Amino acid sequence: TVSLIVYSSGNVPDTLERTAYIEVVDTQPLPFYEPIAVGVQSTLPAGWSTTDENGDHTGWQEGWWNLGVDGSPDDFIFFDNYQVNLNGLEEQLILPLLDFSTTANPKLYFYRAHRLRTASNTDTLKVYVRACGTNRDLLYVKGGQQLATVAGLDPGPFEPSQPSYWVRDSVDLSA
C-alpha cells in the first residue's frame, strides 16, 4: 500500500491510499538467450512486448526460416517493413528487464538481414537501453546502406534465403 498525505492551509491532513500501486518486476538472469522455437511460432517469447505506433496491429513477429545463419532451420524475430509503411514512426521490440549489476561489460549480440528496396531507402534499426528510472539512451543506429546485408536493390519483399544474408552484430550495453 502506498499512502500520500497532504496538509491543507489549516494543517488538516488529507490521505490517499492505493493498494498494488507499485509493481515489482523480476529481472531475467544472465546470460539471457532468446529460446529456439520448435517449428513456427506466432508469438514472441515470454516477457517480450512490442509497441503499435500506427495502430495497425502489425509489428514485430517471430518467424521461421529453413536456412538460418548457419544453414540449418532457425527462428527469428522480424518486422515486415515491406507490407507496413510507418511514415517515420518507430515500432519497438521491448525485451524483459535484465540485471547487469554483476556484469562488467554487458553486450547484446544479434543477427540481422536486410536488402534495400530503393536507393533512397531509409529503413533503420535502432537499439536503446534504459537504466532504471532514467531516459533511454540510443546505442546503435544502422539505416539504409549501413543496414543492408545483401548487395543490390529489390523492390519486392525480402526473404533471407541464404545463410550469407545474415550478419552478426553487437551492441555494448554498459552505457
Per residue in 88-114, pLDDT (tens digit) is 788 888 888 888 888 888 899 989 999
3 state SS of 144: helix
Q: How far apart are CA 100 and CA 173, in angstroms?
A: 9
Is the pLDDT confidence value at 38 over 80? Answer: no
Cβ atoms 85, 52 nearer than 8 A: no
What the block records as the C-alpha cell of 144 is 539504409
3 state SS of 33: coil
Cβ atoms 150, 115 nearer than 8 A: yes
Question: Residue 87: its pLDDT value, please?
Answer: 77
**Helical ranges in 40-106 per DSSP H:** none
Cβ atoms 160, 152 nearer than 8 A: no
| Identity of residue 79 | F
pLDDT digits (tens, 9 = 90+) for 115-154: 999 888 788 999 998 887 788 899 999 999 999 999 999 8
pTM score, whole prediction: 0.76
Confidence band for 9, pLDDT divided at 50, 70 and 90 = confident
- For the chain, how far is it from start to end, CA to CA, in angstroms? 34
- Residue 159 Cα distances to 82, 145, 175, angstroms: 11, 17, 33
Confidence band for 17, pLDDT divided at 50, 70 and 90 = confident
Closest CA to 154 of 118, 113, 123, 125: 118
Q: How far apart are CA 155 and CA 13, in angstroms?
A: 66
The angle at the Cα of 138, spanning 85 to 101, to the nearest 5 degrees, equals 130
Percent helix, percent strand, percent coil in the chain, to nearest 5? 5, 35, 65
